[in-house]
Structure 1
Amino acid sequence: MKKPFVTLEQLEKMTAEYPTPFHLYDERGIRENARRMKAAFAWNPGFKEYFAVKATPNPAILKILREEGCGTDCSSLTELMMSDRCGFTGSEIMFSSNDTPPEEFVLAAGLGATINLDDFTHIDFLKDTIGYIPETISCRFNPGGTFSIGASKEGFQVMDNPGDAKYGFTPAQLKEGFIKLKAMGAKRFGIHAFLASNTLSNEYYPTLAAILFKTAVELRDETGCDIKFINLSGGVGIPYHPDQPANDIAVIGEGVRKAFEEILVPAGMGDVSIFTELGRFMLGPYGCLVTRATHEKHTYKEYIGVDACAANLMRPAMYGAYHHITVMGKEDARCDHRYDVTGSLCENNDKFAVDRMLPRIDIGDLLVIHDTGAHGFSMGYNYNGRLRSAEILLKEDGSTALIRRAETPDDYFSTLVW
């Protein structure tokens, strides 16, 4: 059973100051997880985690992660701007985008960010846009086909289909691209790949690493390019269901180390730095959506209406994604009521849970929707004119801080021309 990182007593104090719904983040959990991540890859002197800003784009969160030694992985103009304003500079910023507008390359170059190109045609586009090719450059690799590592020791099979993904260079394009970039002035190279999402297997990163390490050796031998870093990107997941196994980042780091020593060290590439770009793993479990039961409906099914909706958390409506729900104060009560837990949008998929067995829910009960620390608030929107909620930080000392106020009707109307 999932246990909230906050108590009912704490939430009652918070809701006296901050009306529901709101997203709540656990500073202590975030810091401890960042330190586990760093320790797992401490064997690699150049290791750096570039937090995926798209997962949780909040300055307070980014500043915490910067204090813990992380950089940022940006994919848009505003994410670059936020990183800059939070104090990230130069190589602390990784810029990985696709179908990239020219002004985004201009800003990335101006900030000294490491640019990770998504496509072979972007080589000339980048040169034409900023007037030069940076001396340090990275390219995103897509091996095509279907990626699978079969059943792991955890009993979870990782499968994805890179061949259908819009991202990255083909193997032939990657070789040609490195040769072209080197001729245009690039001196230091990186390789990046993302082959599967939200994997619950300690074998995903080591398997991906082995693929990229072998690719790096081949590219070095065939192009003469100096490969300085290999970026494993994201894909390490979290257990949304309470009965799913959690990844062990220490085991994952050790698996990558073994592949490193088996492949890169004998090839004379033992100085290559390892980068990661995790979002969900870094933040997912350390955020929750706090909402209050406001209505109950008894028709063909039993419904509980809450004051949050898909505008606050899109994943269940968009993907049918599971998010565990705790009825605060009733953690030990029997789950003997079957509910659909719904929001107020004019869409039938605006449901946080369908046929979920929960304790009896009374009007006014506070509900914690778990694992919204990544891709929660960030995917919000304003359909039906619903306003996006506040973000609150539960600090290490137990106090709280408002790190993003809730939207108001004035915010909603501010961009309109009457």
Structure 2
Amino acid sequence: MKTPFVTKAQLEKIVAQYPTPFHLYDEKGIRENARRLKAAFSWNPGYREYFAVKATPTPAILKILQEEGCGCDCSSLTELLMAGRCNISGENIMFSSNNTPAEEFQLADKLGAIINLDDLTLVDFLEQSIGRIPEKICCRYNPGGVFTLGETREGFQVMDNPGDAKYGMTRAQIAEAYTRLAAMGAKEFGIHAFLASNTISNEYYPTLARILFQLAVDLKHETGCHITFINLSGGIGIPYRPEQPDNDIAIIGEGVRKAYEEILVPAGMDDVSLYTELGRFMLAPYGHLVTRATHEKHIYKEYIGVDACACNLMRPAMYGAYHHITVMGKEDQSCDHKYDIAGGLCENNDKFAVDRMLPKIDIGDLLVIHDTGAHGFSMGYNYNGKLRSAEILLKEDGSTELIRRAETVEDYFQTLVW
């Protein structure tokens, strides 16, 4: 069973100050998780986590992670600007984008970010955009085909389809890119790849590492380029459902270390630094969407209406994603009522849960929707003129801090031309 990181008594005090709905983040949990990740890869002297800004683009969160030694993975102009305003710059930024406008490369270069090229055609485009090729550069690799992990400890297969993804270069293209970049002045090279999303498996990262480590050895022999870092990107998931097991980051780190020593060290490449770009793993469990039951409806199904909607959390409406729900104060009661938990949008898919067994919900009850710390607020939108909610930080000392105010109607109207 999933347990909220906040008690009902704490939450009642918070909602007395900040009206629902809002996103609430757990500073203590975020910091502890960042430290576990760092410890898992401490065997690699150059290791660095580049938090995926797209998951939770909130300055207060980025600053917490910066204090824990994390950089930023940015993929747009606005994300670069946000990192810069948080005083994050230089090689603490990894810029990984696609279909990239020239001005984004220019800003990334101005900030001193490591630029990760998504396509072979971007080699010349980057030079045209900034007037040169940086001495340190990265290329994104896409092996094509279907990636499968086979039977895991959880008894299922991890499968994804890199060949259907728009990202990265083919094997031949990345070799050509390295050769051309070296001729244009690049001296340090990196490899980046992302093969599967939200994996609940301790085997994903070690398997990906073996693929990229062998690629690095082969590329060194083929091109003579000095490969100084390998970016394992994201893909380590979280258990959205209570019956799913947690990933063990210590075991994952040890699996990557074993692959490193078996492949890179014998090839004389024991100076390669490892990078990660985790968003969901870093933040998702440490965010709750807090909402209140406002209506009930009894027709062909039993509905509970809440004051949040898909504009606050798109994932369930977008692709039927499961998010656990706790009815605060009723954690020990029997889940003997079947509900659809619905928002107020004029869309039938505006539901946080369908046919979910929960305790009896009364009007006014507070509901915590779990695992919204990543890809929650960040995917919000304004359909039906709904306004984006506030973000609140539950600090380590138990106090709260407003880290993003709720939108107002005037905010919504601000960009309109009457």
TM (norm. structure 2) is 1.00
Equivalence for 1:376? 376
Identical residues among aligned pairs (%): 79
Q: Hey, what's the Cα distance between the residues in 2 that align with 1:155 and 1:307? A: 38
- Bigger drift between 155-164 and 193-202 goes to 155-164
Q: Hey, what's the Cα distance between the residues in 1 that align with 2:331 and 2:354? A: 19
Equivalence for 1:319? 319
Equivalence for 2:65? 65
Equivalence for 2:388? 388
| Letter of the structure 1 residue corresponding to residue 379 of structure 2 | M
Equivalence for 2:78? 78
Equivalence for 1:162? 162
| Alignment size in residue pairs | 418
Q: Hey, what's the Cα distance between the residues in 2 that align with 1:57 and 1:135? A: 29
CA contact (8 A) 1:156 1:200 kept: no
CA contact (8 A) 1:156 1:201 kept: no
Note the alpha carbon deviations across 1:371-396, whole angstroms, 9 max, x for none.
Answer: 00000000000000000000000000
Note the alpha carbon deviations across 1:327-374, whole angstroms, 9 max, x for none.
Answer: 000000000000000000000000000000000000000000000000
Please give the secondary structure, in 1, of the residue aligned with 2:267. coil
Deviation at 1:87, TM superposition (A): 1.3
For the pair 1:251 / 2:239, whether they are aligned, the reply is no
Note the alpha carbon deviations across 1:222-257, whole angstroms, 9 max, x for none.
Answer: 000000000000000000000001100000000000
Q: Hey, what's the Cα distance between the residues in 2 that align with 1:343 and 1:78? A: 30
Deviation at 1:312, TM superposition (A): 0.2
Equivalence for 1:131? 131
Q: Hey, what's the Cα distance between the residues in 2 that align with 1:154 and 1:328? A: 30
| Letter of the structure 2 residue corresponding to residue 8 of structure 1 | K
Equivalence for 2:342? 342
Q: Hey, what's the Cα distance between the residues in 1 that align with 2:262 and 2:77? A: 39
Q: Hey, what's the Cα distance between the residues in 1 that align with 2:219 and 2:203? A: 24
Please give the secondary structure, in 2, of the residue aligned with 1:172. helix
For the pair 1:9 / 2:12, whether they are aligned, the reply is no
Equivalence for 1:229? 229
| Letter of the structure 2 residue corresponding to residue 386 of structure 1 | K
Note the alpha carbon deviations across 1:117-168, whole angstroms, 9 max, x for none.
Answer: 0000011111111110000000000000000111112323110000000000
Note the alpha carbon deviations across 1:63-93, whole angstroms, 9 max, x for none.
Answer: 0000000000000001001111111110000
Within-5 A mapping of 1:13-412 = 13-412=13-412
Q: Hey, what's the Cα distance between the residues in 2 that align with 1:199 and 1:389? A: 29
Q: Hey, what's the Cα distance between the residues in 2 that align with 1:155 and 1:115? A: 38
Note the alpha carbon deviations across 1:159-210, whole angstroms, 9 max, x for none.
Answer: 0000000000000000001000000000000000000000000000000000
Q: Hey, what's the Cα distance between the residues in 1 that align with 2:186 and 2:156? A: 41
Note the alpha carbon deviations across 1:299-346, whole angstroms, 9 max, x for none.
Answer: 000000000000000000001000000000000000000000000000
Q: Hey, what's the Cα distance between the residues in 1 that align with 2:89 and 2:370? A: 33
| 4+ aligned runs moved over 6 Å, structure 1 | none
Please give the secondary structure, in 2, of the residue aligned with 1:265. helix
Deviation at 1:101, TM superposition (A): 1.1
Note the alpha carbon deviations across 1:24-73, whole angstroms, 9 max, x for none.
Answer: 00000000000000000000000000000000000000000000000000
Please give the secondary structure, in 2, of the residue aligned with 1:352. strand
Q: Hey, what's the Cα distance between the residues in 2 that align with 1:340 and 1:102? A: 46
Please give the secondary structure, in 2, of the residue aligned with 1:259. helix
Q: Hey, what's the Cα distance between the residues in 2 that align with 1:77 and 1:177? A: 24
Q: Hey, what's the Cα distance between the residues in 2 that align with 1:154 and 1:47? A: 28
Please give the secondary structure, in 2, of the residue aligned with 1:355. strand
| Letter of the structure 1 residue corresponding to residue 248 of structure 2 | D
TM (norm. structure 1) is 1.00
CA contact (8 A) 1:330 1:359 kept: yes
Note the alpha carbon deviations across 1:100-127, whole angstroms, 9 max, x for none.
Answer: 1111000000000000000000111111
Q: Hey, what's the Cα distance between the residues in 1 that align with 2:407 and 2:60? A: 18
CA contact (8 A) 1:57 1:79 kept: yes
Q: Hey, what's the Cα distance between the residues in 1 that align with 2:179 and 2:410? A: 53
| Letter of the structure 2 residue corresponding to residue 183 of structure 1 | A
| Letter of the structure 1 residue corresponding to residue 105 of structure 2 | F
CA contact (8 A) 1:96 1:118 kept: yes
| Letter of the structure 1 residue corresponding to residue 346 of structure 2 | C
| Letter of the structure 2 residue corresponding to residue 344 of structure 1 | G
Please give the secondary structure, in 2, of the residue aligned with 1:283. helix
| Structure 1 unaligned spans of 5+ | none
